[in-house]
């Protein structure tokens, strides 16, 4: 059995907490020694004042910023890092990513943030064929789709593959980009790249050396949920308690757009906030990103229907989630049938596995939903 390893959780150059882990499993095996409370990850900082629950919160937070167990190439990651879990692989990679400024420093190593951070240093994309280990943001990038980070012309770019027989998600990202530009909502831009017969959606990281992304998942536990609050109300109460500058229309605009494209995966990790990593001051909402699991991506052409579609994060069906929206003000009326058709034809026409009938279905459903969204904004009522 390998000896326990002491880890210093760092936030840039700030020592935040110290604890021991089991190297092969990555499970924390000691109490958490807090060194700087205000820099603790929010779920750990607001965990109940209980030693066991604090360790549990740290374990969960680390797992949420590691590659998930559902990633189809997980076994290759584990073999390359010679560990038994995704969390252990993240520790071996110092927990480095391109979303935030936290990292895991082995206590026995004399290394600095300046030497290892991936915003200012080159990194290698993991190449399983070479069987070698190198610092990479890929090891601490969550999400189920196959993905990898690369540096091109000094930019940190995320390449994402599709899944299932249609592999529709990369194209969905670009289609959503076009519509978001049309209705003038802040969002991450995507384009398509074809390599070795595969199509990837490509986008640039929206964090930089001085900012970081804090997902909504990290904040929804800062307060106990009141019996009088629904999930939507609770989310806003948590954000307000942290002093996050957010208004209801930003969330409502995002939800309304998600309805239009039938996004079924806007979970609490897929939206959130930007924070200054040096001052810990909140800067506002993160741009809208990760729109791939939309447009009936996992349904056959004959199964594409408009009603009773799953929704996230505040309700499980779109008919009920729409009823939460009362402050949206985005320009959805500009999404005319012609605009939607032009975008769909531009993105999907001629794509392998995407039939002409499927494109017509996408155009029809998105047009109908944009019309419903426009009426919702006009009446400011939920009439479904």
DSSP state of 3: P
Q: How confident is the model at residue 67, as a pLDDT?
A: 83
Q: How confident is the model at residue 27, as a pLDDT?
A: 96
- Extents of the domains making up the chain: 1-121, 211-379
**pLDDT above 50 for 23:** yes
Tens digits of residue pLDDT in 319-340: 999 999 999 999 999 999 999 9
**pLDDT above 50 for 346:** yes
Classify the C-alpha dihedral 231-71-84-102 as positive or negative. Answer: negative
**pLDDT above 90 for 78:** no
**pLDDT above 90 for 125:** no
pTM of the model: 0.93
CATH code matching the domain that covers 211-379, chosen among 3.30.830.10, 1.10.1070.20, 3.90.380.10, 2.40.50.100:
1.10.1070.20
Q: How far apart are CA 248 and CA 324, in angstroms?
A: 10
Q: Comparing 133 with 199, which gets the higher pLDDT?
A: 199
Tokens of 82: 């010679």
Tens digits of residue pLDDT in 206-229: 999 999 999 999 999 999 999 999
Q: How confident is the model at residue 127, as a pLDDT?
A: 46
Q: How confident is the model at residue 204, as a pLDDT?
A: 97
Counting residues of the chain whose pLDDT is more than 90, the rounded percentage is: 81
Q: How confident is the model at residue 128, as a pLDDT?
A: 39
**What CA–CA distances, in Å, run from 85 to 16, 75, 88, 97, 379?**
24, 9, 5, 18, 51
Tens digits of residue pLDDT in 228-255: 999 999 999 999 999 999 889 999 999 9
Torsion of CA 230, 257, 164, 299, to 10 degrees: 80
* Average pLDDT taken over every residue of the chain: 92
Q: How confident is the model at residue 1, as a pLDDT?
A: 58
Q: Half-sphere exposure of residue 204, counting CA atoms within 13 Å on the CB side?
A: 10
Q: How confident is the model at residue 134, as a pLDDT?
A: 62
Tens digits of residue pLDDT in 256-279: 999 999 999 999 999 999 999 999
Beta carbons of 65 and 97 less than 8 angstroms apart = yes
DSSP string, 98-151: SS-SEEEEETT----HHHH-TTTS------TTTT-----GGGG--SSS-EEEEE
Tens digits of residue pLDDT in 285-305: 999 999 999 999 999 999 999
Tokens of 1: 């059995």
Beta carbons of 31 and 15 less than 8 angstroms apart = no
Q: How far apart are CA 169 and CA 176, in angstroms?
A: 10
pLDDT (mean) for 123-138? 58
Counting residues of the chain whose pLDDT is more than 70, the rounded percentage is: 95
Q: How confident is the model at residue 146, as a pLDDT?
A: 76
């Amino acid at each position: 059995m390998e000896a326990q390893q002491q880890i210093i959780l760092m936030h840039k150059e700030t020592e935040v907490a110290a604890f021991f882990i089991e190297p092969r499993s990555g499970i924390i095996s000691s109490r958490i020694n807090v060194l700087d409370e205000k820099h603790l990850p929010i779920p750990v900082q607001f965990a109940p004042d209980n030693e066991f629950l604090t360790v549990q919160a740290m374990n969960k937070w680390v797992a949420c910023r590691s590659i998930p167990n559902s990633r189809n190439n997980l076994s290759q990651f584990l073999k390359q890092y010679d560990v038994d879990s995704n969390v252990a692989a993240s520790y071996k990679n110092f927990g480095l990513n391109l979303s935030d400024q936290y990292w895991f420093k082995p206590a026995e190593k004399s290394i600095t943030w300046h030497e290892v951070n991936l915003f200012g240093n080159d990194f290698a994309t993991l190449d399983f064929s070479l069987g070698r280990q190198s610092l990479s943001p890929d090891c601490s990038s969550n999400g189920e789709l196959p993905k990898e980070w690369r540096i091109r012309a000094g930019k940190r770019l995320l390449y994402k593959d599709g899944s299932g027989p249609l592999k529709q998600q990369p194209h969905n990202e670009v289609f959503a980009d076009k519509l978001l530009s049309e209705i003038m909502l802040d969002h991450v831009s995507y384009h398509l790249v074809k390599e070795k017969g595969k199509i990837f959606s490509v986008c640039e990281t929206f964090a930089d050396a001085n900012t970081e992304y804090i997902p909504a998942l990290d904040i929804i536990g800062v307060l106990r949920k009141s019996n009088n609050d629904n999930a939507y109300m609770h989310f806003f109460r948590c954000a307000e308690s942290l002093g996050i500058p957010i208004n209801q229309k930003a969330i409502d605009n995002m939800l309304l757009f998600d309805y239009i494209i039938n996004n079924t995966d806007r979970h609490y990790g897929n939206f959130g906030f930007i924070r200054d990593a040096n001052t810990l001051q909140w800067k506002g909402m993160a741009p809208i990103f990760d729109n791939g699991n939309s447009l009936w991506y996992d349904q056959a052409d004959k199964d594409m229907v408009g009603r009773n579609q799953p929704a996230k994060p505040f309700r499980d069906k779109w008919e009920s989630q729409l009823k939460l929206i009362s402050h949206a003000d985005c320009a959805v009326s500009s999404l005319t049938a012609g605009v939607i058709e032009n975008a769909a034809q531009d993105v999907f026409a001629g794509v392998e596995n995407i039939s002409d009938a499927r494109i017509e279905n996408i155009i029809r459903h998105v047009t109908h939903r944009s019309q419903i969204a426009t009426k919702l904004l006009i009446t400011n009522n939920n009439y479904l």
